[in-house]
Amino acid sequence: MRINTQNYISFQRRLTDSEIAEYSAVLKEAKEKVGNKGHSLLIMPSSSLPNSLNNNMGCGNMLTKESGEFFDFAKLYWGINYVQLLPEGQYSQIGNVVNPYSGSSLDLGLQLINPELLDTDEYAHILSKEDIQKIINSNTKPNKDICINFENTISKDSPTEKALRKAFDELIKEDNEEKRKLLKEFEKYSTENKDWLEGKSLYRALALKNKSFDFNEWTDEIERNLFNPEKVSIEQREKVIKEISSHSEYGKEKAFYMFTQFLSDKHLAKARDELNAKGIKISGDMIVGCSKDEFWAFPTAFYKEYELPWSFKAINYDTEDGLNFLKLKARSCAKRYDGVRVDASWLYAKQQLYSKENGKYIEHYRQYDDKILNIIEEEIKKVRGKDFDLHNVMHEFEANPWFYPLYDDIHLKKEVRERLKVFKSDFMSKDWETVSAFRRKDIEEGTYMLGTTNHDTLSLKQLFQHKEAQKPQADILSKILKIPREQLDSLSGFMQAKFAEPIRAFHNMFFFSDALNLDGSYNVGCTDRSMEFRLKIPANYQDKYFESLSKGEGLNIMDALDKAFVAEGLDKKEPELYNKIVKFKEILQIKENSSTPSKKGGKGGIVAAIVVAVVAATVFLVKHAQNSKKKEQEKTINA
């Protein structure tokens, strides 16, 4: 029995302190035996991280106590050594939908800032506890424990933004040494990042001046085309920059944006250090698109007449300015993260472009093979230096095969062959998206990462319900894992088999919501539009997770290893290790009793816990006595 921080009383079978060391050793050895020696990667956005019920500002944050505990939990129970963050740039919002992939490729979002840190000596207490409590109190969303409240955090004039504006006002007072020291650090950051920060900060100031975030709606032609050398001279540009920067209102808006970027970068760096100390790396997502302000600030880097799929502006790689912007994107990711996921890598190998002619979209192509990908990796290498590892650059090459097949005849394309390719298994077939298939397909171990799902797929629950996909996949999994076919007609059987197959890959990944068996879907398959891209890990995720394991759902990695051992014949070759795997699998499957909320905290909660414990012990003793009496009666009858 335990009493958790939310005043819940629960009877739960978890790993005891004496079991943890053995469990961790068994997990490490077993993963290596099945070939999973590389990345064990958890995919998620930072905004989905859990908050406590009494300290929820709207978004999860990587620097809270609860996030630290979650990553400890994920490392212990799943053996993760990498976290793949979804894009963490400034998100754009269309109606209720806040899509991380619609954001910026250079800057960072407010979701990475933990306002609580601003009430510390390091930040000169530029926010107070009362300021922070106001943000918390403003988050009145009824389902805030399971739904991200972007409106409280990243939206314009949100309570978080208002608090940060107040913090900025405090900082520029410079009325003590701590503030002057922080301001000096901020100024140094602004200078070092001027190559991208200057244009994007000016955009915020001009958007305020023109009362629109869409530069196409600005009335002044010079401001609309400020960085377009064909329409605005250097003298004209410098004059506008000087006027805006010195203006009391617009100059402050420009500086405030820089300040938020300073905080976001500083907090992300701290989060990275803390995760690295736990033995976990962070990978960032280099999105293929860009934001409106980037198109405005770097106009000569983009095609005027073409767009990418999804209506993203297309970089012109045949120009110096286009390549310089691409390099800037790559360097910014390399500076911030241990690894980089290159979004839609196939579009760098074969650029798919669209133009609109007479009301119709016309397709165009630019073939680059590995030229652009080499440039990206060279920029990352410049930043990472001796720490550069090609397999810390992860590529999304999965595209529609009619447009971008991975093979030239029977061999992998040269730009695909040696790079780390990321595959999910939602379209698993006998010849694709399984370890067994890849072993037959000229794909070397260590050059691909395989997982179950990601944000772009149905959840495992939804995939199971999609019988046209579930049935053939169950047939394949039954043969590979040597599982009776009928077992895969249950959700638990299918889910555990889906987790088990990719764990045999050198690099393995899984999506946070499937691993925890959360209700609902993050993106694809989300039937409730109010929840799209807003799925959040609840405060009592551990209770829900272990309850799921007792039903055979969620990621029980020991169950996955059990199946992988049988598939590889290791249950016979390594019987001692296999028996330990089975032991821990069964420990994690022990059914938990229901959790009951305590109506009172403090001593009342403890007393209630003691009462329940006594009642439970009494029930156990009574049942034990009844069973003993029954056995004695059976002996008498048999005699």
pLDDT in tens, 378-401: 999 999 999 999 999 999 999 988
Closest CA to 466 of 390, 524, 518: 524
Asked if residue 83 has pLDDT above 70, the reply is: yes
Average pLDDT of the segment spanning 541-563: 97
CB 349 within 8 A of CB 404: yes
Does position 82 have pLDDT exceeding 50, yes or no? Answer: yes
**What pLDDT score was predicted for residue 481?**
97
pLDDT-derived band at 446 (thresholds 50, 70, 90) equals very high
| Mean pLDDT computed over 466-486 | 96
Residue 592's pLDDT is what? 59
Burial class (CB in 10 A: 0-12, 13-18, 19+), 305: exposed
Of 66-75, 404-413, 586-595, the least confident: 586-595
375 vs 377: CA distance, rounded Å = 5
Lowest average pLDDT, out of 482-486, 537-541, 626-630, goes to 626-630
Q: How far apart, in whole angstroms, are the C-alpha atoms of residue 388 and residue 495?
A: 36
The answer to whether residue 196 scores a pLDDT higher than 90 is yes
Q: Higher-confidence residue: 255 or 92?
A: 255
Q: How far apart are CA 612 and CA 607, in angstroms?
A: 9
User: What pLDDT was estimated at residue 637?
Assistant: 33
E strand or H helix that includes residue 423 = strand 420-424
**Alpha helices per DSSP H over 79-193:** 129-138, 159-171, 177-192
Percent of the chain with pLDDT over 70: 91
pTM, rounded to two decimals: 0.90
Write out pLDDT tens, residues 291-337: 999 999 999 999 999 999 989 999 999 999 999 999 999 999 999 99
Q: Which residue has the higher pLDDT, 130 or 608?
A: 130
pLDDT in tens, 323-379: 999 999 999 999 999 999 999 999 999 999 999 998 899 999 999 999 999 999 999
pLDDT at 442: 80
* 633/330: higher pLDDT: 330
Q: Is the dihedral of CA 294, 165, 189, 284 positive or negative?
A: negative
List the domain boundaries for the chain: 598-638
The mean pLDDT of 252-257, rounded to a whole number, is: 98
Amino acid sitting at position 373: L
The CA radius of gyration of the chain, in Å to the nearest whole number, is: 27
Query: Where residue 94 falls among pLDDT bands split at 50, 70, 90?
Result: confident
Q: In what order do the strands lie in the sheet with 360-367?
A: 313-315, 302-307, 350-357, 360-367
Is the per-residue pLDDT at 607 higher than 70? no
Predicted confidence (pLDDT) at residue 608 exceeds the cutoff of 50: no
Locate 591 and state its tokens. Answer: 């059914």
The pLDDT value given to residue 520: 87
Q: Which pLDDT value is given to residue 606?
A: 35
Q: DSSP assignment of 513-573, as one string?
A: HHHHT-SS-SSTT---GGGTT-B---TTHHHHHHHHHHTT-S--HHHHHHHHHHHHTHHHH
d(CA 178, CA 190) in angstroms, rounded, equals 19
State the chain's mean pLDDT as an integer. Answer: 91
Mean per-residue pLDDT for 98-123? Answer: 94
Q: Above 60 in pLDDT, residue 632?
A: no
Task: For residue range 558-601, list pLDDT tens digits in order.
Answer: 999 999 999 999 999 999 999 999 999 999 999 756 443 333 33
